[in-house]
A and B are shown apart, each in its own frame.
Chain A
């Protein structure tokens, strides 16, 4: 049996990144992800890599642009307000098709918000964030085991598709500890040689990495079409989700990340009560795994979406099943999180069996 290690999510992220061959990290302190730069400051030198505490998030993401162009597996991390600052750089990295991993341990917003966990950056991560037509691959682990694996996979997806990958976690995922089997890194894809790297052109034609397309006049149109082809390929190839008890489910709960694991507990409890509940939990929200929703919508009477925001993820759930079934919502931003009992209460209500006295108002505690 492989060794199990007990670390906080933020620390485990560092171990996974280094295990996957990440050798460049730049970041700027912000709670609740401070353990990442703190641990990187001594783990990176141990691994022969580079750690830089940048003067700002803007500088950090641009250092990543450079490190990626130079061929390193590289990563930056932050939390919501810091990720907003990085958006300009993220758009440039997506335009230049540079592989890198960006981690957002989300906190409460908008504005400076607070340091509690939240899922209010879903739109920013999935629908753009920066300017222009681009997409990040967005991975959403729910357990530390998934965080460990998906962090390693993130580097592979980034290199394979030449695209920035975001790990969209939250303060709880970063701060909680859970034992994880420390699996050795093994690429999950046949990685192409990095033929874009700027490492000196002594014996080959010079390369250019650029995001400005002025000439000829249609060059940016063509570049965009090329990007769209790539995004379509990613959408065809990447579909990650967990499906639980959906075969005969009348009420299908859907949630991602930390709310996804709580929702699973609620679905299990509902099954124990004899309620036909199921769960669809994406592990990747761009591309969004539409298939399980379409399948479930054929039988289910009702969907229930749970998220730690005021309704962002729910839009993709509705789109995935063409709004075929009524979809209820349980969620709040600013640091609220759901307990199993609250979700169970909603499942009972939707299943049409009220076994307990009147439920408290949704989300109020």
Chain B
């Protein structure tokens, strides 16, 4: 399998699930590794209610197009996002599913999957808001896109300037997500 030089990611869930923070940390992690990156968030009235989503493009080369319509990777934290973005993922791509809130099987056979019960992990840690970091941990563990220490560094940088008290909890969620998740290779593809 050729290593893609560019990864196009969609992150989706309910408003309030911390979708933007996942995108922000991936972008900052990529920046730490010296990669090119662009990020965007669905904004304004678009983001009220329903599905919120952010997109990130990480690349070794100059990024021409910052829009993501056919992602290589989808990180879906709720059922509506799963329904909306599972069909959009490129063949051979990757989808991360928050199994706490998405209780249905995948329809696609040609994409790899990361399963993580992100909301339950967050519940065990005592704060539902860190489900996003659990999902991010799982993504970093299995996608190979960025080094875990880059994401950890990004989280430390971001929280130390904004809210240092929340850093330990978020790092715990990140770690828990890395360890309490599993990866399933696409079954509909050969030669990988």
Inter-chain contacts of A323 with B (CB < 8 A): none
> A31 interface residue, CB < 8 Å from B?
yes
Q: Which DSSP category, helix, strand, loop or mixed, fits chain B's interface?
A: mixed
In the complex, residue of chain A having the shortest beta-carbon distance to the beta carbon of B41: A175
A261 to B62, CA, bound (A): 10
Inter-chain contacts of A340 with B (CB < 8 A): 64-65
> B39 interface residue, CB < 8 Å from A?
yes
Shortest Cβ distance from A74 into chain B, in angstroms?
27
Given A31-B45, A177-B27, A265:B64 Cβ within 8 A? yes
Find residues 306-341 in chain A having any chain B CB closer than 8 Å to their own CB.
Answer: 337, 339-340
Contact mask for chain B residues 47-69; partner A; CB cutoff 8 A; 1 contact, 0 none = 00000000000000011111101
Q: Verify B64–A266 contact, CB threshold 8 A.
A: yes
Q: Verify B37–A339 contact, CB threshold 8 A.
A: no
Shortest Cβ distance from A278 into chain B, in angstroms?
15
A171 to B46, CA, bound (A): 13
> A359 interface residue, CB < 8 Å from B?
no
Q: Verify B45–A172 contact, CB threshold 8 A.
A: no
Inter-chain contacts of A263 with B (CB < 8 A): 64
> B175 interface residue, CB < 8 Å from A?
no
Given A178-B37, A261-B65, A265-B65, A6:B46 Cβ within 8 A? no
Q: Verify B44–A176 contact, CB threshold 8 A.
A: no
In the complex, residue of chain A having the shortest beta-carbon distance to the beta carbon of B40: A176
In the complex, residue of chain B having the shortest beta-carbon distance to the beta carbon of A340: B65
Contact mask for chain A residues 136-151; partner B; CB cutoff 8 A; 1 contact, 0 none = 0000000000000000
A6 contact from B27, B43, B44, B69, Cβ within 8 A:
B27
> B125 interface residue, CB < 8 Å from A?
no
A115 contact from B37, B40, B46, Cβ within 8 A:
B46
Inter-chain contacts of A261 with B (CB < 8 A): 63-66
Shortest Cβ distance from B140 into chain A, in angstroms?
18
Shortest Cβ distance from B40 into chain A, in angstroms?
5
Q: Verify B45–A176 contact, CB threshold 8 A.
A: no
> A132 interface residue, CB < 8 Å from B?
no
Q: Verify A115–B45 contact, CB threshold 8 A.
A: yes
Q: Verify B27–A176 contact, CB threshold 8 A.
A: no
A263 to B69, CA, bound (A): 16
B40 contact from A6, A31, A175, A339, Cβ within 8 A:
A175
**B residues apposed to A, CB below 8 Å:** 24, 27-28, 31, 36-41, 43-46, 62-67, 69
A-B pairs, top 5 by smallest CB distance, nearest first, are A265-B64, A177-B39, A31-B44, A115-B44, A262-B65
